[in-house]
Amino acid sequence: MTNRERYITKRNEYDLMLAICHNIQQAAIHCPIRAIGAPKRACILTECKPPERDCERCLQAFLNEESKD
Protein backbone atom coordinates (compact mmCIF):
# COMPACT_ATOMS: atom_id res chain seq x y z
CA MET A 1 0.00 0.00 0.00
CA THR A 2 1.40 3.41 -0.92
CA ASN A 3 1.19 6.53 1.22
CA ARG A 4 -1.32 7.88 -1.32
CA GLU A 5 -3.62 4.96 -0.52
CA ARG A 6 -3.02 4.91 3.23
CA TYR A 7 -3.42 8.61 3.96
CA ILE A 8 -5.74 9.80 1.16
CA THR A 9 -7.73 7.46 -1.11
CA LYS A 10 -8.58 4.65 1.32
CA ARG A 11 -9.22 6.97 4.24
CA ASN A 12 -12.59 8.24 5.32
CA GLU A 13 -12.90 11.90 4.27
CA TYR A 14 -14.30 12.93 7.64
CA ASP A 15 -11.40 11.28 9.49
CA LEU A 16 -8.94 13.00 7.13
CA MET A 17 -10.49 16.42 7.76
CA LEU A 18 -10.49 15.83 11.54
CA ALA A 19 -6.82 14.81 11.42
CA ILE A 20 -5.94 17.96 9.48
CA CYS A 21 -7.90 20.10 11.93
CA HIS A 22 -6.26 18.47 14.94
CA ASN A 23 -2.73 18.56 13.52
CA ILE A 24 -2.71 22.18 12.37
CA GLN A 25 -4.02 23.36 15.72
CA GLN A 26 -1.23 21.64 17.68
CA ALA A 27 1.61 23.75 16.29
CA ALA A 28 2.62 25.87 13.37
CA ILE A 29 2.57 23.04 10.84
CA HIS A 30 3.29 24.18 7.32
CA CYS A 31 3.75 20.76 5.76
CA PRO A 32 0.67 19.11 4.24
CA ILE A 33 2.21 15.69 4.86
CA ARG A 34 2.30 16.38 8.60
CA ALA A 35 -1.19 17.93 8.49
CA ILE A 36 -2.73 14.63 7.35
CA GLY A 37 -1.06 12.81 10.25
CA ALA A 38 1.85 11.17 8.44
CA PRO A 39 5.20 10.91 10.23
CA LYS A 40 7.64 13.80 10.03
CA ARG A 41 10.13 13.61 7.18
CA ALA A 42 13.03 15.70 6.01
CA CYS A 43 12.20 18.39 3.47
CA ILE A 44 13.52 18.08 -0.06
CA LEU A 45 15.49 21.24 -0.74
CA THR A 46 16.16 23.06 -4.00
CA GLU A 47 19.68 23.80 -5.08
CA CYS A 48 19.00 27.54 -4.94
CA LYS A 49 21.15 29.81 -2.82
CA PRO A 50 19.87 29.86 -0.09
CA PRO A 51 18.14 26.48 -0.42
CA GLU A 52 14.35 26.51 -0.27
CA ARG A 53 11.84 23.73 0.34
CA ASP A 54 10.67 21.93 -2.80
CA CYS A 55 7.20 20.93 -1.59
CA GLU A 56 5.96 19.84 -5.02
CA ARG A 57 8.71 17.28 -5.45
CA CYS A 58 8.46 16.19 -1.81
CA LEU A 59 4.68 15.60 -2.07
CA GLN A 60 5.07 13.60 -5.28
CA ALA A 61 7.74 11.41 -3.68
CA PHE A 62 5.69 10.90 -0.50
CA LEU A 63 2.50 9.92 -2.30
CA ASN A 64 4.25 7.29 -4.40
CA GLU A 65 6.31 5.73 -1.58
CA GLU A 66 5.26 2.49 0.06
CA SER A 67 3.71 3.13 3.45
CA LYS A 68 5.98 2.23 6.35
CA ASP A 69 3.23 0.63 8.49
pLDDT digits (tens, 9 = 90+) for 22-63: 877 766 777 888 888 888 888 888 888 888 888 888 888 989
E strand segments, the chain: none
Please choose, from the candidates 32, 36, 9, 8, the residue with its C-alpha nearest in 3D space to the C-alpha of residue 22: 36
Query: What is the per-residue pLDDT for 1?
Result: 92
The span from the CA of 63 to the CA of 5, in Å, is: 8
Query: What is the per-residue pLDDT for 2?
Result: 93
Query: What is the per-residue pLDDT for 56?
Result: 85
Banded model confidence at residue 18, pLDDT cuts 50, 70, 90: confident
Query: What is the per-residue pLDDT for 26?
Result: 66
